[in-house]
Structure 1
Amino acid sequence: MDTRLLLVSHAATAAQRAGRFPADDPLDSRGRAEAEAARARLALPADATVFTSPAASARETVAALGLSATPADALADVDYGKWRGQRLADIADEAPRELAAWTREPDAAPPGGESFDRLVRRIGEWLDAQQADVRSCNAVNEAGFAASAHRRTIVAITHATLLRAAIVHALDASPTVFCRIEITPLSVVELRHSRRGWSWWPSATA
């Protein structure tokens, strides 16, 4: 059985628009409206297994999209450490070298936080665990050969940083490319797993 995974970045928050590092911020009325408006455009499969980051922004995006989802800690946003909730402009004034390193070097991390390198490993472990679950189900399924002809679809509502990390893992790319991957709110990244491993597909949510 192949796996089709649709990773969706949550709707924008007021903190994002203000240039602040996330601090488990909820959606505001504008963000909820944008997520509700995107519901028809995204057309996420009704038969998908749905997971979400535990963050308020992701869970509220799930609700606005009319979905029901299981929280997964592995889908949590990158840990911003001491920068959590602070304005990017303030960090640029107070710690320019550390901020510059964080935006360019995948093994650099905010003080007390998580590096992009570590994030790639985290989401990679989760992605591979999803496919391991499929193999386990097929192994005990009496109709395993028939089941293998079908595709399991997963939807994960999470954060832009996780979508970047998932692309890097799927392509087995150098984490140094992370700063060149742009993800906007309510973007969709489609990954598929087959005998060749994970592949990045053009976005097509229907």
Structure 2
Amino acid sequence: MDTRLLMISHASTAAQRAGRFPADDPLDARGLAEAHAYAARITPAIGQGAAAYVSPAVCARDTAAALGLAASVDVGLAEMNYGTWQGRRLADLAVEAPQDLAAWTRDPDAAPHGGESFSNLVKRIGEWLDALRRVADPASKHTRNVIAVTHAPVLRAAIVSALGASPVVFSRIEIAPLSTIELRRSSRGWTWWPASQ
């Protein structure tokens, strides 16, 4: 059975707009308004009977609810672990730990802040994609539609994993709030498609 996966990055948070690493922040009024406006555009692309999953983070769950999705929480879709940088401002870290911050932004294996490296995130999301494939019914002739509401770094990691690319390219992939990517799984593996919305 083929799988069509739409992955959506959550709506913007006040912390994002302030240049802070996330700390399980809820959506504020602006983020909720963005998500509600986006719902009208994304709903036709979701498809009938889509299985819906969401990161455990509050902002992702708020986004899924605003999109009208009855999504199951899946820890595999969790935000990247920022370790001791969680909730900290990028501008402050650029002054306090410029070398660590520079290494983390350029080296996919760097996790000097005690969190998760991008390479480890790619591995985690690749395992999530493999698990998603395994729960499909191989006897079914229909495409299985799945939607996942998660975080920008997770979408980047999914693209890198699907393409079998080196995690070194992570800094060249930009994912804005409420961006959607489409991945499809067939007999030849995962492929990245333009999101059809």
**TM category, shorter:** over 0.9
- Using the size of structure 1 for normalisation, the TM-score is 0.93
User: What aligned pairs does 1:21-32 form with structure 2 within 5 A after superposition?
Assistant: 21-32=21-32
Structure 1: distance between partners of 2:17 and 2:192: 28
CA contact (8 A) 1:27 1:57 kept: yes
User: What aligned pairs does 1:136-147 form with structure 2 within 5 A after superposition?
Assistant: 137-138=137-138, 144=139, 147=140
- Using the size of structure 2 for normalisation, the TM-score is 0.97
Structure 1: distance between partners of 2:39 and 2:48: 12
CA contact (8 A) 1:83 1:110 kept: no
1:13 corresponding residue in structure 2? 13
Matched residues, number:
195
User: What aligned pairs does 1:148-167 form with structure 2 within 5 A after superposition?
Assistant: 149-167=141-159
- Given residue 185 of structure 1, which amino acid in structure 2 is its aligned partner? P
Q: Which moved more, 1:171-180 or 1:37-46?
A: 37-46
1:121 pairs with 2:123: yes
Please identify the structure whose Cα radius of gyration is greater: 1
2:192 corresponding residue in structure 1? 200
Give ranges in structure 1 of 5+ residues lacking alignment. 139-143
Residues 93-150 of structure 1 deviation map (CA, whole Å, 9 limit, x = unaligned) = 000000001001000014210000000000000001111111xx33xxxxx2xx2x21
1:64 corresponding residue in structure 2? 66
1:41 corresponding residue in structure 2? 41
Moved over 4 A (4+): none
- Given residue 156 of structure 2, which amino acid in structure 1 is its aligned partner? R
1:79 pairs with 2:71: no
CA contact (8 A) 1:82 1:110 kept: no
- Given residue 11 of structure 2, which amino acid in structure 1 is its aligned partner? A
Structure 2: distance between partners of 1:20 and 1:173: 28
CA contact (8 A) 1:6 1:154 kept: yes
Q: What is the SS of the residue equivalent to 1:63?
A: helix
- Given residue 198 of structure 1, which amino acid in structure 2 is its aligned partner? W
Report sequence identity in percent: 63
Q: What is the SS of the residue equivalent to 1:156?
A: strand
1:176 corresponding residue in structure 2? 168
Q: What is the SS of the residue equivalent to 2:165?
A: coil
What is the CA distance between 1:46 and its match in structure 2? 3.8
Give ranges in structure 2 of 5+ residues lacking alignment. none
Q: What is the SS of the residue equivalent to 1:163?
A: helix
- Given residue 158 of structure 1, which amino acid in structure 2 is its aligned partner? T
- Given residue 57 of structure 1, which amino acid in structure 2 is its aligned partner? C
